[in-house]
Chains A and B, each alone.
Chain A
Amino acid sequence: DAGVTQSPTHLIKTRGQQVTLRCSPKSGHDTVSWYQQALGQGPQFIFQYYEEEERQRGNFPDRFSGHQFPNYSSELNVNALLLGDSALYLCASSLKGRPNYGYTFGSGTRLTVV
């Protein structure tokens, strides 16, 4: 049973550029959440998608946007990259209506902005 798959695993971008990160949820899950984990810190919630709509959003600027596709996979887009956007971006999938099942995390995408 495939878990959460994220791509790419690493990438390097220049300040001001745009980036797209991708996530395929665990089989059977329908909800995708994105988290940013800066070096030495705990993950911070960016937003959550369910039924192809953004349902919740953390304290992140509009430069961060996302999308969910009919097959439940998701993308995270970041525009006008800043050095401070360098972090590990984690995708987590879950099943709506079953919070006791928990969240399954992918291995993350390491973004470096130079």
Chain B
Amino acid sequence: AQSVTQLGSHVSVSEGALVLLRCNYSSSVPPYLFWYVQYPNQGLQLLLKYTTGATLVKGINGFEAEFKKSETSFHLTKPSAHMSDAAEYFCAVSDGNAGNMLTFGGGTRLMVKP
């Protein structure tokens, strides 16, 4: 069985500061890893994904994440937070089989202070 743990249900940063959202996973097979963002009353938008290849993945809106197999982590970072980054962020894992289900973490609400 797969699982995802997101450390910190709420993270608050100042505008311009580094954003770090933590995600640890467990999977019995090589995982596919995803970060999604959800704005209020909206669905999920894909920020970035890791499937194979380069372990440092760049996504939209200046976000990036690094797959660290030894640490079973896939933390999301952004060098400089913008007010528009305030949202709920979800880390998810699938086992890489075609069309297989996503297992989500509980989410991290990012707040950006002016």
B-binding residues in A (CB < 8 A): 4, 6, 31, 33, 35, 40-45, 48, 50, 55-56, 58, 90, 92, 94-100, 102-108, 110
Provide the residues of chain A in CB contact with B13, threshold 8 Å: none
| Extra 18 A-B pairs, beta carbons < 8 Å, given A99-B94, A105-B44 | A4-B43, A6-B43, A35-B102, A35-B104, A42-B90, A43-B44, A45-B102, A48-B99, A48-B101, A56-B100, A56-B101, A90-B43, A99-B98, A103-B34, A103-B46, A104-B46, A105-B46, A106-B43
A110 CA to B34 CA, complexed, in Å = 24
User: Can you list 29 A-B contacts with CB-CB less than 8 angstroms, sorted by A residue number?
Assistant: A31-B99, A33-B102, A35-B102, A35-B104, A41-B106, A41-B107, A42-B104, A43-B44, A44-B104, A48-B99, A48-B101, A55-B99, A56-B100, A58-B101, A92-B44, A94-B99, A95-B99, A96-B99, A97-B98, A98-B98, A99-B51, A99-B96, A99-B98, A100-B52, A102-B46, A102-B49, A104-B46, A108-B42, A110-B41
Whole-angstrom distance from the CB of A46 to the nearest CB of chain B?
9
When the two chains form their complex, are residues B101 and A45 in contact, meaning their CB atoms are under 8 A apart? yes
Q: B45 on the interface (CB 8 Å rule)? A: yes
When the two chains form their complex, are residues B43 and A45 in contact, meaning their CB atoms are under 8 A apart? no
A31 CA to B100 CA, complexed, in Å = 10
Provide the residues of chain A in CB contact with B100, threshold 8 Å: 56, 99
